[in-house]
Each structure stands twice: as structure tokens, then as C-alpha cells.
Amino acid sequence: MLMRTDPFRELDRLTQQLTGGATPGTWSRPNPMPMDAYRNGDEYVVVLDLPGVAPEAIDLDVERNVLTIKAERRPAAVTDGTEMQVAERPLGAFSRQLFLGDALDADRIEAAYENGVLTVRIPVAAKAKPRKISIAGAGSTAHELNA
């Protein structure tokens, strides 16, 4: 099972709405990134919106069943004399941590980035998949159980 932990995300979102906009994220206080997660057969799929983030500015790490996703959106290059009129797009650091249950295979995680969307696929561990167990009748041996 995939577990999501980010207890202050809604508080951050409400604060941004009340203060009138996005604030630049820093590595010590990153912006949240919108996420969907669902199970599809024998894998969990996590989809994160990261529009405007260069693929080389995305970093995924797994340590002790914690998947950490970090990204950074840098400001667009502007020439001297450019006067910004509206700046609502969040810049800076984005981060998300997902705690992976023991039933997931953290060694086989795959990620793809296309059109500003990061898709992470986390397979269910073989030991956690349902399996049939044979029932031996009277007089059966262990060899017959494994057949």
C-alpha cells in the first residue's frame, strides 16, 4: 500500500490563497506538487504535475522505503530592461515524500517525464501478491504439495 504523508500541504495551500499568490520555494521549505496516486493491477502509479521543470532538475531517491521527489523550477531567462507585469507561477524548489509500505518493491521503481508530468510506477512486491495454496489430502506428502 502506498501511504501519503504531507500533513501541512492543505495549510500551505490555504496560506497561499489568503496571501494572494505563490511564494518561491526553497530547499528548506519547498512548495508542494500536485499528485494523483492509484493502483493499476500489480503496480501503484503516482502522477505529479511539474510544468516548466527541466528533466535534469528532477531528482528521485529511495531510502528506507521513503521515496523522495525533488524538483526545481527556475525563472525564465529575461533580458535587461524586461519589466515583469504579472508573476504568479511558483518558482523554486518542490518536494514530496511518499512512505512506501512493505508490500511494494522499492528496488524496481520506474519513472518517466513527459509534457510536464512525472509518472512514477511502483510495483507490488512478489511476496505481497495473492497466491493459491494447495491443500493436501490424507496420505499426501510435501512433494505433492509443491507439484
pTM above 0.85, yes or no: no
The answer to whether residue 134 is domain-embedded is no
Look up the CATH number of the domain holding residue 65.
2.60.40.790
Among 115, 106, 86, residue whose Cα is nearest residue 21: 86
- pLDDT means per 10 residues, the chain with 147 residues, are 54 57 53 87 94 93 92 83 80 89 91 96 80 74 47
Answer whether 134's CB lies under 8 Å from 121's CB.
no
- The set of cell numbers assigned to 67 is 521515496
- Strand 35-40 relative to strand 110-114, pairing: unpaired
Cell, residue 20: 494572494
Name the phi and psi angles at 55, rounded to 5. Answer: -55, -35
Q: In this structure, is residue 27 part of a structural domain?
A: yes
Does residue 82 sit within a domain? no
Q: Is residue 85 part of a domain?
A: no
Structural domain includes residue 111: yes
Q: Count structural domains, the chain.
A: 1
Domain that holds residue 47: 2-75+91-126
CA 72 – CA 4 distance, rounded (Å): 21
